Amino acid sequence: MDVLRTLKERCDPKNAALVVVDVQNDFVSPDGSAGKRGEDCSAALAMVPNLLRLIDEARRIGLTVVYIRTTHSEWTDTPSWIYRSSQKSGLSTCREGTWGAEFYQGILPLPSERVVIKHRYSAFINTDLNTVLKARNIQSVLVCGVATNVCVETTARDAYMFDYYVTMIDDCSAAYEAKLHLGTLDNMRRHFGLVASSNEIIDTWRDLPMKQPVGL
């Protein structure tokens, strides 16, 4: 098996999938649960135009796009999950069937694109994400979304543990504090893979022909 050494190789639609993590109302909108408990959603709001452009470009060249969506309900709640420190405010997050659990405005998966539902920080835990990627012969994942230091990082770490090449997209990811975002990016560079901007990734696709969207 060839080693994918360069960003261009790791972004090639023959090898790669774009994995968009938790770009949902409760995590992005100031009216969502994160905003209501006092988190600064400005970085999440600011990255959305970059992400929408990246998704459009990925569709143009036929890259596999997978969307991760968090939902919670009484069927997936456990005491350790409910009583973690981030839930002390008592605000419910991404409850099944609520506005908060819906994708943020503009994030509209096509019928041909896969949506994976998760109930924990990692998109690989108790989901079919690994099977979906293996079925498409994906070797490299381009990971982005919210929050950089929580679900995006946890998903990226697990992708690496499953032997995928990992690239985190810095300007299509956001945390509620800049230091947390930057800390995760530094950790990714040191131990798990590459960090690149959406422009750098799109630039690797510049000479590729337009194709129909690819997905499941």
> d(Cα 65, Cα 214) in Å, to the nearest integer?
7
| 6-63 residue pLDDT tens | 999 999 999 999 999 999 999 999 999 999 999 999 999 999 999 999 999 999 999 9
| 167-181 residue pLDDT tens | 999 999 999 999 999
Instruction: Give the residue extent of every domain in the chain.
Output: 7-204
> d(Cα 68, Cα 47) in Å, to the nearest integer?
17
> d(Cα 41, Cα 64) in Å, to the nearest integer?
28
Task: Please report, for residues 42, 95, 115, the alpha-carbon distance to residue 132 in angstroms, rounded to integers and kept in the order given.
Answer: 32, 25, 10
Write down the CATH superfamily of domain 7-204: Isochorismatase-like (3.40.50.850)
**Confidence (pTM):** 0.93
